[in-house]
Amino acid sequence: MRDVFVTTAEEVLSDPRTTVVLADISAAAFAPAAARYPGRVVNVGIREQLMVGVAGGLALTGQRPIVHSYAPFLVERAYEQIKLDLDHQGVGAVLVSVGASYDRAAAGRTHLAPADVALIDTLRDWTVYVPGHPDEVPGLLRDAVCGAGSAYLRLSTQTNARAYPGSGDLRVLRDAGPGAPLLVAVGPVLDAALAAVADRPVTVAWTHRPRPFDAAGLRALAGTEVILVEPYLAGTSARVVGAALADRPHRLLALGVGRSDLRRYGTPEDHDRWHGLDAAGLRRSVDAFLTPARAAA
List residues near other proteins by CB under 8 A.
Answer: 16, 19, 39-40, 42, 44-45, 47, 49-50, 52-63, 65, 80-81, 84-85, 88-90
Nearest-approach distance from CB 106 to other proteins, in angstroms: 29
Tell me whether residue 39 or residue 177 sits nearer to other proteins (CB atom).
39
Q: CA-to-CA distance for 247 and 196, rounded, in angstroms?
A: 29
Tell me whether residue 85 or residue 278 sits nearer to other proteins (CB atom).
85
Tell me whether residue 16 or residue 292 sits nearer to other proteins (CB atom).
16
Q: CA-to-CA distance for 161 and 141, rounded, in angstroms?
A: 20
Q: Cis bond leading into 212, ω under 30°?
A: yes
Phi, psi of 214 (to 5 degrees): -75, 80
Tell me whether residue 126 or residue 213 sits nearer to other proteins (CB atom).
126
Secondary structure (H, E, C), 152-179: EEECCCCCCCCCCCCCCCCEEEECCCCC
Nearest-approach distance from CB 59 to other proteins, in angstroms: 8
Helix or strand (DSSP H, E) at 57: helix 48-60
Q: CA-to-CA distance for 207 and 199, rounded, in angstroms?
A: 22
Nearest-approach distance from CB 15 to other proteins, in angstroms: 12
Nearest-approach distance from CB 27 to other proteins, in angstroms: 14
Q: Is residue 200 helix, strand or coil? A: coil
Nearest-approach distance from CB 240 to other proteins, in angstroms: 27
Tell me whether residue 54 or residue 218 sits nearer to other proteins (CB atom).
54
Nearest-approach distance from CB 66 to other proteins, in angstroms: 13
Strands (E), 40-194: 41-43, 64-70, 94-98, 127-129, 151-154, 171-174, 182-186
Tell me whether residue 67 or residue 71 sits nearer to other proteins (CB atom).
67
